[in-house]
A and B are shown apart, each in its own frame.
Chain A
């Protein structure tokens, strides 16, 4: 991918100049806008990643002071801008036959393959690359070799570059078609401007999200200290940061669930084609895959948070099994509501209920053995070597995560198998029933909490 966009004639010697750039980080590169303001203002000597919350390590990067006033943009404006300019962030195609030596005022320092530099400039450089190649003088090529192939992050390089560009500028401008050059410059300016706007919008969005996040955390803190219910879930007691993060993610997942439910409801009532229905149904399965994934992440840091169940409502908590719903219980609830089923489907669903029951029993027995073994270790610890036994106990406790993960695995497999057995239409109704069922459990908790008391 990168090979077609390499800087032609890139001298190996100069690759050392800006070697701080993490070339091999494709993830970062696809998320950063080209900084076309690079060469425009010589004071802005570098692209500031500091405001972008990616773990970027760039040596010698100078903070762009002009960015501070951009934090005054509202997040709404930022989203609007991003909607207007939806092409960001995408990696811009870059041809790199020439560095931007003649465009000091167009703000392009460099053309760079995306995989090599997060700072690519000169947006529509590809379509006038050929023009440029034709238009440019051989006299410029000598400067080419001296150009750093990456955008220079340190100001000395920029001084070098601007000096060189000044020299080549006067040469080429005099000889070549000024019109073409001017047009190109204008396009560069425009692209640079758009790029800067996009970058501002993105940064602003990030900043406002960060502020929102800290605000939410503060809210949780204060609510917790008052023992309030947030979204029907008690926030008393200590929540680890992983637990708090998961609670927020789960809260968002619940909001999305409501959206899925409305979609399912509308789809079942109207008469959508099977194809459209399938997309909605499969979307719901993915929605559940997502919560299982989030739970897996949370289990690694704080399995007790999942087991204790403060993230679900009190009524749900009564029925919590290994950190979630019990699959066989769900199937049992669903069977009468899935009519009409073919004989084969009924066999399949009953088989599913039986196998999930067997799996649940096996996991429960394994967990029970874990409990017994743990208790024995704690009980056996004497005064002399209690530390030793504590260490052993810690090791055993670590197995808890495995059980919660297998339980979630069981839940996920059950939903997938349900989806396989049922037709698209049946699955849509099935998931609607399931979603409404859990919704009612949550509603019950809210009603209970707000019931009139003496």
Chain B
């Protein structure tokens, strides 16, 4: 069991094609989950408020994004995509779908 939160995050992020770090009470997290489900993607969601070591994961995620809110944060194919604004931007500029296909999260 990795002890360093950042290592843990990296491990969790690489275990699934699409990984979302979320909180059950966060409405923007709900929005990002709906976005992926609406595209036919089945993301792996980690609710930090339901994880016993969620607090330190949250801190590490905040540091990863240089501040701002720790959730929602999206990883695709093990690589960091970012928070909601980056996810939306990449969807609009057309780079999200190829990324999903490459990670095996989307077919056709």
State the A residues within 8 Å of B (CB): 348, 351-352, 355-356, 358-359, 361-363, 365-367, 369-370, 373, 396, 399, 402-403, 405-406, 409-410, 413-414, 416-417, 420
Contact = CB atoms under 8 A, between A and B. Distances in A.
A406 B92 contact: no
B93 A362 contact: no
Interface residues of B, number: 22
A146 to B, nearest CB: 49
Nearest to A408: B85
Contacts of A399: 26-28
Contacts of A410: 88, 92
B84 interface: yes
Contacts, number: 76
A369 to B, nearest CB: 5
Interface stretch (B5-13, B32-40, B99-107): B32-40
B93 A420 contact: yes
Interface in B76-91: 84-85, 88-89, 91
Contact of B88 (A348, A370, A409): A409
Q: Is the contact region of chain B dominated by helix, strand, or loop, or is it mixed? A: helix
B94 interface: yes
B25 interface: yes
Most chain A CB inside 10 Å of its own CB: which residue of B26, B31, B89: B31
A362 B38 contact: yes
Nearest to A413: B92
B30 A369 contact: yes
Nearest to A362: B35
A27 B78 CA distance: 42
Nearest to B32: A362
Interface in B35-53: 35, 38-39
Most chain A CB inside 10 Å of its own CB: which residue of B30, B89, B92, B93: B92
B88 A365 contact: no
A352 B92 contact: yes
B93 A406 contact: no
